[in-house]
Structure 1
Amino acid sequence: MSRRVPFAAAVVWMLAALSVAATALAGAPDRAFADRGGPARSVVPVVMVGIGGLTAADVSPARTPALAALVGRGAPGVLVPRSVRPRTCPLDGWLTVSAGERAAGPATCGPLPRVARIPGGAGTSTVSGWRRLAEAQARTGYGAEPGRLAEHLARAGSCATAVGPGAAVALADRSGTVARYRPAFDRTAAPTGDCPLTVVDAGALPLGVGRGDALVAADALVAKVVAASGPGATVLVAGLSDESAGSGTSLRLAAAAGPGFDGSWLTSGGTRREALVQLTDLTPTLTELLGTGTDEVFDGGCWRATGDRPAGRATSAAAAATLDRLRAFATTDRVVSTYGLWFFTALVVVQLLAYGLALLVAARARRAVSRRRAGRLASAAGLVCGAAPVAAVLAGLVPWAASPVPVWSLVLTVAGFTAVLAALAGRTPYDPPWAAPTTLALVTAVVLGADVVTGSHLQGGNLVTPGDLPLVGGRYFGFGNVAFAIFATAVLLTAGGLATRQAERHHRRRAALVVLTVGFAAVVLDGWPSWGADFGGVLALVPGVAVLAADVAGVRLTVRRVALVAIAAVAAVSAVSVADWLRPPESRSHLGTFVQRGVEGQGGPVVVRKAEAALASLTYGGPLGWLTLLTYVGVGVYLLRPRGFGARALADTYRCWPTARPTLRAVWLTGLLGFALNDSGVAVLAAVLMTGVPLVVVALVRSSPDVSRRPPPRPPAPDRARPRGQRGAVGSAASSRG
């Protein structure tokens, strides 16, 4: 009799490996970001111009020559203006710069507060209603503290000049006092060695009538600022809010020109994506450019220069190409946010129609040939719908947003990838029945895993992960919640499929080793800060891998073992998070940022905010959220304990695919934990259903004797080497008939 590796030893081994990896991570910079070129530190002078509502579509050499020149010679990008609310008012944007984290003014957009000069204060002014603005942050759930930027500069002995009411909000201290204020820009407000920072409020562009005139005025102000600052200055332009009036939001324009920013694209530690930055990046960028030290940690990351545009500074055609790329971000956001729900709805409708038609034909067919055709129809529908999610991700390889007809280009691209993947998976033999679903699951897991390793370039604008769109701000790099759900489902189905041969031969240790190997690689990909950077995903995936490994190994899960798995999951993600926190701030992912929040006493509000978001997802689209949850629970109960309609077909699948039942149990458990531990809530459950149900249908159909044209397999002989009373789910699934 061969000795089995104790379950506790396997869990401890996995935890030890993750801890060693976390130790190696501690103190190491994130080379995926930190090694990129950036601006020279301690560059003076620095001037920032804020123009609310400015987009890449507003800029052209004819209408805005100063802005076009800045974009052409510097580093442009698009800026995510999201703050506390979906729409960012001008006051919200300036308060966010002041606090260094998401902040907001009144719920309805209004004018900026009045700035009054203090008599005898030698230029000192005060922002009216400041106390009310500061107290209002406690109601936003973020607990921002306006005035942090000004006090940080004061401690560093650095001077700053505010021009305009918005700039006064950005540079006011915690009492609302602005040390140096000018109502309009002139040469006395230009940055100098004595006062190296100037922040200029160029107003907010209105919608509709008057936008053109306001844009021309803002461009003239930018030209005046550039001329007064001199050739050695670093000039930042940011569309840090939405328009002064209206109800919509969109990506805004950002640009930087000066030493270290010439002829490149913008990125930041907060996004790690080329040509993409966010509102909260502005504060740490200013402090780094001024060289004022790191005595205080702000949200976001510093602007960096990445990539190269060597031809972009010389020709008008190259400048137009630069602006076209920036506009493509907005096109991607508009198309995906509009049609993402339709894509999911189409997948559901196609499956219901195809499966319903197949069942109708099979029920009325008297000949085996007709039943076989009905089964092949259901199998084809399952293959197409099972390939669609990864096809939607792969569509990011094609620049469809730059097409004159972006919607049709996206549709044709997704359809093409779907057809190719479904055809390749369909060519796998019907025996074994798990070959096709395992193939599609493996392709899905490899594509998503390779994407996060190479920078998550495909997850920020596809139809299956609309929550990761730049404008939504859910995730800029790593695994978002929906992407994690697709990845975890694919990984567990892959592990279960690859372990089947060993389970059929009663090599339970080898089958468990296959599951643990695949699962360990997936956990590392999901949790590593430079790759997946997913806190809740690790907590959800580790129990799923452990349950699947225990089932195929024939190990009965007791309360003690379940507790051990939970402790291992928490310890693993905690070790990686602390190690990420020990790295330099510019290299941290949100794992290390959360630890920093906990150190500052702000961890509780973050957890509460995410829990509230998960609960709120149940009311998304009216009854849609609750319907998704009930469907998920119903599908899980049916798959794990089949009764009534279709139970015989499912029992045939469990006989043909010995690891099917434990695999589906692990997938269902991981999805349920993902729903409870991530702020996307029912979106995680919907993603698990979207990915897993079509592949399960393919396995069901291919296990049917009517479709595969082979007799049902005999159940495997019992494992005599196993102690009595410890029969695992693999053995019970092999002999179960529902």
Structure 2
Amino acid sequence: MLRRLPPVLLTLLVVVLGVTALAARPATETPRRTADFVVLVGVAGLRWDDVDPQTTPTLWRMAQQGSIGSLSVRSAHRPTCPVDGWLTLGAGNFAAWNGSRGGGVCPPAGVTVEQPDGIGANLPDQESVVQHNQQRLPWGAVPGALAESVRCSVAVGPGAAVAAARPFGRVDRYAAALPDDPAPLLGSCVLSVVDLGTVAGDDRSARAEQARRADADLARVLAGRPPRSLVLVAGISDTDLPSRLHVAVADGPGWERGWLTSPTTGREGYLQLVDLAPTALAALGRPMPERLFLGRPALSVGGRPADLPTAIAAPADADREAAAQQRVAGWFFALLAGAQVLLAVAVLPLLRRARRHAGPVGPAPVPRRVVAVVELLLIAAALAVPAALLADVVPWWRGDHAGWWFAATTVLLLVGATAAVRFAPGHDATLGPLGAVAGLATLVVAADVLTGARLQLNGVTGYSALEGGRFSGLGTVGLGVFAAGSLLCAGWLAQRVHRRWRPMVVVAVGGAAVVVVGSPYLGADSIGAIALTAGVSVAAAISTGGWLTVSRLVWAGMAGLAVTIGFAVLDLRRPATERGSLGRFLAALGDGTGGLTVHRSSTANFETLVNSPLTVLALAGALLVWFALLQPWGGLMRLFGIYPAMRAAMAGTGVAAGLGGLLGGSALDVAGAAGALVVPMAALAALRVLDHSTDRTQPGDGGPANGRLGVAPPGGPDRPDADAGTGAGEQTSTGDAPASPPADPPPADGVAGGGGDAPDRATGRAARASTGVATA
């Protein structure tokens, strides 16, 4: 009972830390009524670099006195064409018009607007569009949900008619073009939607002329706006690929000189297209159709520079960075995957010849210089993702050749980081490079998260605001690197202390990592925190020795489930607008719409699995580990037997990465990011263990006592187990040292059946007594 009690208590401690991390949430401001009328003005394709005092003076003045932000125009289709943008605006959810998008080019809208009377209009295609979104698309959007939430609405222009049409196609008030005096029309209903055309193309002069015409019409809208009204101007959609961030300006009482933000982004200066509908209803003091709206009401927060050009430069720069990130991220991960595959192939012959031959005749060893070069390449490969994350400190996206600037910056950082690891104290120890790389990777990601995750937003190894999936906290790649780095650090530190204290060290380091990942103030990733809790529980359970048995895996699963249940209970007690993703999912299960979330997650997993380069990284790493490193000649089993805490760390990483990807809808992306760090370091440590597999230590020369095997070079910080083969749940080695060794014992060439390379204590004592030589 005393032996079983510590794992239970440690598991409970991890659960408490996980629930604590997820339970505390930032205080959110309750939206309040600020206007009697709302006017939504849409200009498809309008970006912040189209706005200046000469071309768009009206919009410039409006931005000066109102609140501004970058608008992500994600819809159910890529790209978000104008008709999709207008439909998403009216649905408050990711919606799309019927039809395909061939070659990334937006087809003609093809919207039919009938005017059976002189007041309103009718969209005959609306019912089929509603059925398409309800039955074919995974978001459950209901086009017309915004119009259904108010008593009366006005539409000006065909795009506005799409947004303001009710689900059965009726538009309450309609005008095909903006009247010379729009005041009577805009004042006839509490909600007005105005289409001011499109700004499209790459030609600067053509875009300026289109923006100038839209600005002139906006001047008439502002002149005719009703009293005590909120006017929202939005670049409602893309016009072609690649997607971009667009203009968002709010002008009205309570929206003075701030940044626009939303609970769906959690980032100052960013909001989504789906947030505009709930923002309009919140400003009018109308109730929300919670099941239909995916967006949340936007807010105005302080902190905006008083100088307008400086303020506008921020969203314009974010748009350039997001556009460059889309172009660069694909080839970066493709090159990384290719480089790691080639490096894995190069390591295979080294693993075969790494074990030194103790006899007079044998194959020639690999030259030390070659081994040193391969080790440096392995270190660089493991540090590639942290270096790419750190590259966003330099504004590489502002240059004419952004990709080359990013590559140069990343290479310089990678060389510096590799040199730091190479010349760090303890580099010659078996686990020295692994500990240094893991610590450096964890430090880079943690520092970014603790300072607001600014490097991950629109970063090559982070997440893009254009995707609309995440705007703050820890991204998919960051989760993989941070989970792997923190668990490897925990294992490396645990290996340096006595066996009985190792679970404590793993829980301390892993628990802190869970808090960083799950806290809404930091990583804001509840799924990642649940997955990491399971990984930490596994690592703590086997850090003293033994394998990942079914019972230990069940303990880890129970820990993750306990965190999930604890957080779910707390999350469901919050108001609907303040719930996290888990609380919203459980609420959806209660009202019968949870199947949509499951459908979206499974669809996202499949698409990511097929299209992501990180899938190649994950599969290549798994193949190298299974078919090479875990073979008798591969060295990883020997490493696991001598350093059980490292085996625990790698097993916990596998559990955390697998669960994080599966539950988060990112398939093998988390595992691929974790593998990019773990697999090169596992290969390097295996090479070093094999290199020392035939070392001998004379009694009394200061070498390891009690038959300690796989010893690091003198002065190294590694602490191999004194009895590596007899840890909990392990078998005694039978392939590395004979029970009655001859006067000149043969080199060790087998792999421990379950515990590595060390013989049991009795065998080791007998060997030393009879021969005076301890086999290492």
Shift of 1:146: 1.7
* Contact 2:480-2:673 within 8 A present in 1 as well: yes
Aligned positions of 1:353-502 closer than 5 A: 371-403=367-399, 406-426=402-422, 427-465=424-462, 468-502=463-497
Matched residue of 1:459: which SS?
Answer: coil
Change (3 A) 1:308 1:725: closer
CA distance in 1, matches of 2:59, 2:245: 17
Which residue is equivalent to 1:631?
620
Task: State the Cα RMSD in Å.
Answer: 3.8
Matched residue of 2:36: which SS?
Answer: coil
Which residue is equivalent to 1:242?
238
Which residue is equivalent to 2:261?
267
Shift of 1:561: 4.6
Which residue is equivalent to 1:316?
none
When the two structures are aligned, how many residues end up with a matched partner?
Answer: 705
Equivalent in 705, 708, 718 of residue 723 of structure 2: 718
CA distance in 1, matches of 2:297, 2:288: 12
* Contact 1:619-1:625 within 8 A present in 2 as well: no
Change (3 A) 1:469 1:299: same
Which residue is equivalent to 1:334?
323
| Residues 630-662 of structure 1 deviation map (CA, whole Å, 9 limit, x = unaligned) | 424323424773234xx2x44554465342333
Shift of 1:103: 0.8
Which residue is equivalent to 2:561?
570
| Residues 78-135 of structure 1 deviation map (CA, whole Å, 9 limit, x = unaligned) | 211111111112221122122211111112444253333344xx72332222111111
Aligned positions of 1:57-456 closer than 5 A: 57-108=49-100, 109-111=107-109, 113-119=111-117, 123-137=119-133, 138-154=135-151, 159-186=152-179, 187-189=181-183, 195-207=189-201, 211-229=207-225, 233-243=229-239, 246=240, 248-294=242-288, 296=290, 298-313=293-308, 319=309, 321-348=310-337, 350=339, 371-403=367-399, 406-426=402-422, 427-456=424-453
Which residue is equivalent to 2:597?
606
Change (3 A) 1:198 1:723: closer
CA distance in 1, matches of 2:545, 2:556: 16
Corresponding letter in the other structure for 1:477 = S
Shift of 1:390: 1.4
* Contact 1:529-1:580 within 8 A present in 2 as well: no
CA distance in 1, matches of 2:391, 2:569: 36
Corresponding letter in the other structure for 1:83 = S
Shift of 1:278: 1.1
Matched residue of 1:235: which SS?
Answer: strand
Which residue is equivalent to 2:507?
516
My pick for the range that moved more, 105-114 or 190-199, is 190-199
Corresponding letter in the other structure for 1:234 = L
| Residues 226-265 of structure 1 deviation map (CA, whole Å, 9 limit, x = unaligned) | 122278543211111122xx45432222222233333332
Change (3 A) 1:75 1:556: same
CA distance in 2, matches of 1:422, 1:226: 58
* Contact 2:630-2:636 within 8 A present in 1 as well: no
My pick for the range that moved more, 484-493 or 209-218, is 209-218
Matched residue of 1:153: which SS?
Answer: coil
* TM-score with structure 2 setting the length: 0.81
Which residue is equivalent to 1:732?
755
Change (3 A) 1:372 1:263: same
Change (3 A) 1:533 1:4: same
Shift of 1:629: 5.5
| Residues 520-554 of structure 1 deviation map (CA, whole Å, 9 limit, x = unaligned) | 22223323344333344244323322221111134
* Contact 2:641-2:754 within 8 A present in 1 as well: no
Corresponding letter in the other structure for 1:235 = V
Which residue is equivalent to 2:645?
659
My pick for the range that moved more, 78-87 or 479-488, is 479-488
Query: Structure 2 unaligned runs (5+)?
Result: 101-106, 357-361, 698-702, 710-720, 734-751, 760-774
Matched residue of 1:240: which SS?
Answer: coil
My pick for the range that moved more, 205-214 or 192-201, is 205-214
* Contact 2:73-2:237 within 8 A present in 1 as well: yes
Change (3 A) 1:181 1:189: farther
CA distance in 1, matches of 2:365, 2:726: 43
Shift of 1:500: 0.4
Matched residue of 1:543: which SS?
Answer: helix
Shift of 1:415: 3.0
Q: Which has the higher helix share?
A: 1
* Contact 1:46-1:197 within 8 A present in 2 as well: yes
CA distance in 2, matches of 1:608, 1:233: 40
* Contact 2:58-2:215 within 8 A present in 1 as well: yes
Corresponding letter in the other structure for 1:499 = A
Change (3 A) 1:167 1:357: closer
* Contact 1:267-1:305 within 8 A present in 2 as well: yes
* Contact 2:543-2:647 within 8 A present in 1 as well: no
* Contact 1:528-1:576 within 8 A present in 2 as well: no
* Contact 2:618-2:675 within 8 A present in 1 as well: no
Matched residue of 1:78: which SS?
Answer: strand
Aligned positions of 1:29-40 closer than 5 A: 30-31=26-27, 34=28
Shift of 1:409: 3.8
CA distance in 1, matches of 2:510, 2:302: 35
Change (3 A) 1:730 1:290: farther
* Contact 1:80-1:473 within 8 A present in 2 as well: yes
* Contact 2:90-2:144 within 8 A present in 1 as well: yes
Change (3 A) 1:416 1:347: same
Matched residue of 1:117: which SS?
Answer: coil
User: Does residue 547 in structure 1 map to residue 542 in structure 2?
Assistant: no
| Residues 19-56 of structure 1 deviation map (CA, whole Å, 9 limit, x = unaligned) | 5666x64xxx524xx36xx9973223321101111112
Matched residue of 2:557: which SS?
Answer: helix
CA distance in 2, matches of 1:598, 1:530: 27
User: Does residue 692 in structure 1 map to residue 678 in structure 2?
Assistant: yes
CA distance in 2, matches of 1:112, 1:189: 29
Matched residue of 2:224: which SS?
Answer: helix
CA distance in 2, matches of 1:305, 1:101: 21
CA distance in 2, matches of 1:545, 1:476: 27
* TM-score with structure 1 setting the length: 0.85
Query: Structure 1 unaligned runs (5+)?
Result: 314-318
Change (3 A) 1:594 1:182: same
Shift of 1:511: 0.0
